[in-house]
Structure 1
Amino acid sequence: MRRLISELLDLLVPSACVRCGIDGPAVCEPCIHALDRGGPARRGTAGGTAVFSSWRWEEAAPVMRAYKAGQTPCARPLGAALRRAVDALVAEAREERDFGAQPIALVPIPSSARSYRRRGFHPVELMASRGGLHSVRVLRHTRRVADQRALGRRDRAANMAGAFALRGALRPGCPVVLIDDVVTTGATLDAAAATLRAGGARVLGAATALSADRDDTPANDR
């Protein structure tokens, strides 16, 4: 209900771009073009998960911060960025691996119950939906985790180890792409990928809207 009210207000009340401040949509076209410059980039995590991301945190942070604060119209441009990252990863995977015509499952990193109660929506799932992507809830949290911002790279991995479990059985060998909003060290994605592989999935990699090189991302409140 909070999300629906927020979106209705956004339609009725004049808005401004959260990145540059000019009147218009939540993220204006010039800002989108600037953020899209260069296209999705590939990187790897410490655990070996391939990650494609469309926007750099240093340039797109105002968009993600506004979105996490409840400005849901940002979900549409963020969802488009996420979709480009997914498309780039899938294109590479199809060139390098043989999984025939099997459908690829897009699995979001889940929100915690606490963050859902606070926001009233699941950020990754809403982004995916607005980007025209169908995601499947396969993962769940097994416990609360510490704020990742306060931890170093090695401690982040330990913090996330065993933090996820499967909500149900996966088809053996099912190709899976993890999706998330931001990747920093990749500890969350590695933990999720390990859980999926243990359940029999074939993890092709991960796709995120944003990629950060520094520990200045929002708190990991999932």
Structure 2
Amino acid sequence: MRGRARHSDAMSDVPQFLVVALALTGSPGPNTLSVAAVGAAFGRRQGLRYMAGLTLGMLGVIAIVGSGLSALLLALPGVAPVVTLGAIAYFLWLAWRIATAPPIGLTKTQGNPPHWTEGTLLSLVNPKAYAAMAAVFSGFTLVSGAPLGDALAKTALLMLTILAVNLAWLCAGSLLTRTVRSPRAGRIINMAFAGALLIAVAATTLL
């Protein structure tokens, strides 16, 4: 009876877990704004590859956080500043690519959209991703008395949530650009997304 009660209590945490996961992964940040920006700059189909890499990178973040490796690495002297500077440099480069991408429909070719490896790298260097995953993992227990099963359950639910969130932001960015036929407006949208990405980066890495 006690085992069933513990199992019932854990399962009752699933809706709350999903709400928190959606709030943390779906709110504006480097990952969500970057995939929306890629959708706006290169279109939904061209952005799917980047979105897949972004989602795959989050699996790596979950593994690093869940294993405790992130805390161990950041405890080493000098590691945190180097990681932060590297992340900022990468975000600046990605924002430049988005800002300078030709508006959809202006040319026959839309330039080279970011590769899936670039999306993976962005997730792995995104400080907000680590903070969000740490908060979710430490705040809930979905499978009582089975640490491995609990970690796998959280990972599965988080990956489904992240996939849905990334797809929604990609489609939103693509839809916004497709409703605006003016090349000038398209350039403004690209630059606005690039600027929003930089603001999100500043908020997560410098504040």
Q: TM-score, normalization: structure 1?
A: 0.26
Structure ranking higher in strand proportion: 1
Q: TM-score, normalization: structure 2?
A: 0.27
Bigger Rg, which one: 2
Higher relative contact order, structure no. (Cα contacts within 8 Å, ≥ 6 residues apart) = 2
